[in-house]
Amino acid sequence: MSTAKDPVATAGMLIHKPLAEVFEAFVDPKITANFWFSEGTARLDAGKRVTWTWKMYGVSAEVGVIEIVPNQRIVMDWGDPGGSGKTRVVWAFEEKRGGSFVTVENSGFKGDDACAEAIGSTDGFALVLAGAKAWLEHGLRLNLVPDRHPDARVD
């Protein structure tokens, strides 16, 4: 007899930059705004709550930072008010030959739309990692997140 598991979104990418630089890009909202959200209220620190805003969509998300292990791991919770509630996001950073491998795992999806939300999260995080790679390696702002849902834009 098999047991159903809640769906989990995963994405990963090798970024050809030193580990400390890649890690900093995800904890410092001034850097992250170049490839993901438009602004963040503060850098990520354990025990802190921050707000990330996507002005182009007119939405914000509150992020609860659970754990920060410099150059290794970020653990946070965030919620989708219209979806299945809070989910856990774990970012893992690993030094690899030629750069840094970043893995993101988003779990805790519940309800009737859990699979669709996990698929959407996988899509979104893959775009974030691709955008981070372009920004950190080449200084290119690809606008992957702003251009993902053009009909939802409010700006």
d(CA 2, CA 91): 29
Q: Which amino acid is at 57?
A: Y
pLDDT of residue 124: 96
Tokens of 63: 């992020």
pLDDT of residue 5: 81
What is residue 20's three-state secondary structure?
Answer: helix
Average pLDDT, the chain: 93
| Span 41-64, pLDDT tens digits | 999 999 999 999 999 999 999 999
Q: Which amino acid is at 153?
A: R
| b/e burial code for range 18-48 (CB count within 10 A of at least 16 → b) | ebeebbbbbbebebbbbbbbbebeebbeeee
pLDDT exceeds cutoff 60 at 91 = yes
For the chain, give every domain's residue range.
Answer: 9-148
pTM, two decimals, is 0.93
CA 142 to chain centre: 16
CATH number assigned to the domain covering 9-148 = 3.30.530.20
| Span 69-86, pLDDT tens digits | 999 999 999 985 555 579
